């Protein structure tokens, strides 16, 4: 899997790339899956050496520069914490996905999903998750479309999935009870092929016309101003996304280095000049919020809260050490003001962050962090200073939790 947790500019942003085509099967078999916002690494396959300290004292850039120090607690998050919310559960992917309750360690298999040797990919959608198996494509052609795969929907409150249809990729819609499916001709080159997209109900009924997409693109998500398209081939050099209205295909806007998307928002990280920034465009109003990164840091990836008011950011820092090591901290920005608030307790080396996101309908930001001696799961809720923290069992630490 590419290292997407360093500076972030030359790598694919972690928590926004949810879907992959059937052609990921060859990579999946080799241990490189993207699940949910990204597939967490196994703690055993990738030992981490992170920790945390009270490094980021300022709450916003105007409060002065951050104090940059080497993360120095390899044994995980310490200090005052709060109990894990009892109702907050996460999907666990793999050959037989399950629901997992971190507060109790309880597991419950997700029903109606046939066992898949490669595993499943989860895509966050309104009210639940779109789920696709990662099986079967031609490993000799990484950028060729394979056969369409089943698309399932898992409601946030359900114990089993329902079958929606078949497609090469799936993306969230604006309204509840809907998904967008992207399909390509079998065997077509994804660099040049024009796929089709259609909005369907959870029963698979088509809810509008089928649209022919620009060549080489697939639907990342539906927005209030059209479809946000991303390049289809894995490893494609361009990082340009397109906001595309099927009624006016020649219009729209392009975005480079997108780090997060929502139904009404797009966030991207433009090249740094005097300082690094993240910018958020409100698609409904056209207003752009500028988030100025603390001195010496960059925004590597991000994730919008379900209501779109908050943007969680993985902020990467250069510690200035001789080895050029990187540290990171999760910070949450107000989309209205651009003000950054550090999530206290998440200061760690850059390779400690396994994944993060908002896996429920509330404002619970969940992150998985891997350290030398343990793997920990944290939950932060807007307005609360302390993290909820649980240590994962060896079984859960070695599996792929979907954090958002």
Cβ atoms 282, 290 nearer than 8 A:
no
User: Which two tokens mark 5?
Assistant: 């947790």
What is the model's pLDDT at position 6?
A: 26
What is the model's pLDDT at position 324?
A: 60
Digit-coded pLDDT (tens) for 368-377:
999 989 999 9
User: Which two tokens mark 232?
Assistant: 């289809």
Which of the two residues, 258 and 34, has the higher pLDDT score? Answer: 258
Residues with Cβ within 8 Å of residue 305, at least 6 apart in sequence:
311, 312, 358, 363, 365, 382
Q: What is the mean pLDDT of residues 378-382?
A: 94
Cβ atoms 376, 389 nearer than 8 A:
yes
Has residue 15 got a pLDDT over 70? no
Burial class (CB in 10 A: 0-12, 13-18, 19+), 276: buried
Domain assignment present for 12: no
Q: What is the mean pLDDT of residues 225-252?
A: 85
Domain assignment present for 329: yes
User: What rounded mean pLDDT belongs to the chain?
Assistant: 82
What is the model's pLDDT at position 9?
A: 30
Domain assignment present for 181: yes
Task: Give percent above pLDDT 90 in the chain.
Answer: 65
What is the model's pLDDT at position 249?
A: 81
Q: Which of 26-30, 163-167, 191-195, 221-225 shows the lowest per-residue confidence on average (mean pLDDT)?
A: 26-30
Domain assignment present for 9: no
Q: Which of 69-78, 176-185, 382-391 shows the lowest per-residue confidence on average (mean pLDDT)?
A: 69-78
CATH number at residue 196: 2.130.10.120
Digit-coded pLDDT (tens) for 49-86:
333 333 333 333 433 444 456 665 567 888 789 999 99
Digit-coded pLDDT (tens) for 134-159:
865 566 777 889 889 999 999 999 99
Tell me the residue range of the domain where 29 lies. 22-397
pTM for the model: 0.84
Has residue 20 got a pLDDT over 50? no
Phi and psi at residue 219, in whole multiples of 5°? -80, 125
Domain assignment present for 323: yes
Find where tokens 């390899």 sit: 74
User: Which two tokens mark 249?
Assistant: 């295909």
Q: What is the mean pLDDT of residues 162-167?
A: 98
Find where tokens 């898949």 sit: 116
User: Which two tokens mark 266?
Assistant: 């797009």
User: Which two tokens mark 36?
Assistant: 């949910």
Domain assignment present for 382: yes
Has residue 32 got a pLDDT over 90? no
| Number of folded domains that form the chain | 1
Find where tokens 């250069």 sit: 318
CB-CB neighbours of 239 under 10 Å:
17
Q: C-alpha 91: how far from its chain's center?
A: 14
What is the model's pLDDT at position 196?
A: 98
What is the model's pLDDT at position 105?
A: 95
Q: What is the mean pLDDT of residues 285-291?
A: 97
Domain assignment present for 2: no
**First-to-last C-alpha distance (Å) of the chain:** 19
Digit-coded pLDDT (tens) for 340-357:
999 999 999 989 999 999
Digit-coded pLDDT (tens) for 79-121:
789 999 999 999 999 999 999 999 999 999 999 999 999 999 9
Domain assignment present for 16: no
What is the model's pLDDT at position 237?
A: 60
């Amino acid at each position: 899997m590419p290292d997407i947790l360093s500076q972030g500019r030359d790598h694919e942003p972690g928590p926004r790339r949810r879907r992959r085509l059937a052609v990921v099967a060859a990579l999946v078999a080799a241990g490189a899956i993207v699940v949910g916002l990204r597939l967490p690494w196994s703690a055993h396959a990738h030992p981490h050496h992170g920790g945390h300290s009270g490094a980021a004292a300022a709450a916003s850039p105007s409060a002065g520069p951050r104090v940059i120090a080497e993360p120095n607690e390899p044994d995980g998050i310490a200090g005052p914490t709060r109990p894990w919310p009892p109702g907050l559960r996460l999907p666990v992917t793999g050959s037989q996905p399950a629901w997992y309750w971190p507060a109790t360690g309880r597991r419950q298999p997700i029903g109606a999903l046939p066992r898949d040797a490669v595993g499943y990919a989860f895509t966050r959608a309104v009210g639940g998750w779109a789920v696709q198996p990662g099986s079967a494509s031609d490993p000799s052609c990484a950028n060729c479309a394979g056969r369409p795969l089943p698309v399932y929907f898992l409601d946030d409150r359900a114990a089993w999935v329902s079958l929606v249809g078949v497609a090469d990729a799936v993306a969230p819609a604006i309204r509840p009870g809907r998904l967008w499916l992207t399909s390509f001709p079998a065997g077509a080159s994804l660099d040049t092929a024009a796929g089709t997209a259609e909005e369907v109900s959870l029963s698979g009924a088509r809810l509008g016309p089928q649209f022919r997409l620009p060549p080489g693109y697939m639907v990342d998500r539906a927005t209030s101003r059209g479809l946000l398209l991303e390049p289809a081939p894995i490893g494609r050099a361009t990082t340009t996304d397109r906001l595309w209205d099927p009624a006016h295909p020649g219009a729209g806007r392009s975005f480079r280095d997108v780090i997060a998307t929502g139904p009404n928002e797009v966030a991207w990280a433009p090249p740094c000049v005097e300082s690094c920034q993240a910018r958020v465009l409100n698609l409904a109003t056209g207003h752009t919020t500028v988030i100025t990164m603390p001195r010496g840091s960059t925004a590597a990836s991000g994730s919008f809260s379900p209501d779109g008011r908050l943007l969680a950011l993985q902020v990467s820092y250069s510690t200035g050490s001789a080895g050029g090591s990187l540290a990171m901290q999760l910070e949450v920005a107000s989309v209205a003001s651009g003000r950054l608030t550090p999530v206290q307790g998440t200061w760690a080396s850059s390779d400690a962050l396994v994944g993060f996101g908002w896996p429920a309908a509330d404002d619970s930001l969940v992150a998985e962090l891997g350290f030398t001696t343990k793997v920990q799961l944290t939950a932060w809720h807007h307005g609360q200073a302390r993290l909820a923290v649980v240590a994962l069992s060896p079984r859960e630490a070695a599996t792929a939790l979907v954090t958002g």
